[in-house]
Chains A and B, each alone.
Chain A
């Protein structure tokens, strides 16, 4: 179990779960349960109600929670260092080693800037299309 990829995923899931719970709970609590009743009146089975009503209405919360989890999880250093394999490090650990052990600040900075671009550019594109969709 220890020092495997599975351990890293388990550790990240454990410590980032709250960041997913809170936005999703806020969204689910505000859902109108009469919609579920109406769907069931019209003959939908519970899973269909979830698929057609609850899930689409909670997508904003899912997206918010996913961003809160995914972005910091990508740069995670402590969990992969404690629980992961040394031969396949996550990028946060590579940055840490370049800054600390290697003392190669320029390369470490380049890794960090590239990582930031990888995360920020897709989000900016998403926001751009999202605002366009909201305006339409």
Chain B
């Protein structure tokens, strides 16, 4: 008798009843924790490495140059900051022409990049006279060279990447005798 009652009790306790409703932190942990974490990581990355440096630069831009370390000073009285630097930007032609040069060169380069690729897209469409089985996918061979181009750019200095260290023979081949470049 006692045995039966014990097994009965066991069976009823093993049956899943209603899942207890979770509130607050446990609910968040069950439902949204991963999604929120995945969004939060790049958010904090941007906060730390984009917004914070931007704010530092912005504050520096409101100061005044001086001979000190760091070479910035702020006015001693309220409002401590000035927008004179921004007025200078609008008034001096070297800055205006610099902005214009940058915008024009970047625009032209962007258009050339687009144009060369749209030529490639046009090549894919030959006139077809009758329904044909799908052609085997052609993988543009130049695409394979895209990463290599980045590696070549990197390869202009001697020993600064895993690729260059791993491939001294290929590197000297790619470099065409250039041993060093400025700005690297």
Contacts and interface: CB of A to CB of B under 8 A. Distances in A.
B54 A116 contact: yes
Contacts of A90: 98, 101-102, 105
B141 to A, nearest CB: 12
A58 B121 contact: yes
Interface in A55-92: 55, 58, 62, 65-66, 69-70, 73-78, 80-82, 88-92
A82 B182 contact: yes
Contacts of B63: 105-106
A113 B58 contact: yes
A109 B105 contact: no
A70 B105 CA distance: 9
A38 to B, nearest CB: 11
Contacts of A8: 105
B4 interface: no
Contacts of B126: 46
B101 A111 contact: no
Contacts of A123: none
Interface in A1-23: 5, 8-9, 12-22
What 7 pairs across the A-B complex have the smallest Cβ distances? A109-B61, A110-B85, A73-B106, A20-B113, A110-B61, A91-B98, A12-B109
Given A58-B121, A69-B106, 17 more contacts: A13-B109, A17-B113, A24-B121, A25-B143, A36-B125, A40-B128, A76-B102, A78-B183, A91-B101, A94-B94, A105-B60, A105-B72, A106-B62, A106-B72, A107-B65, A111-B89, A112-B57
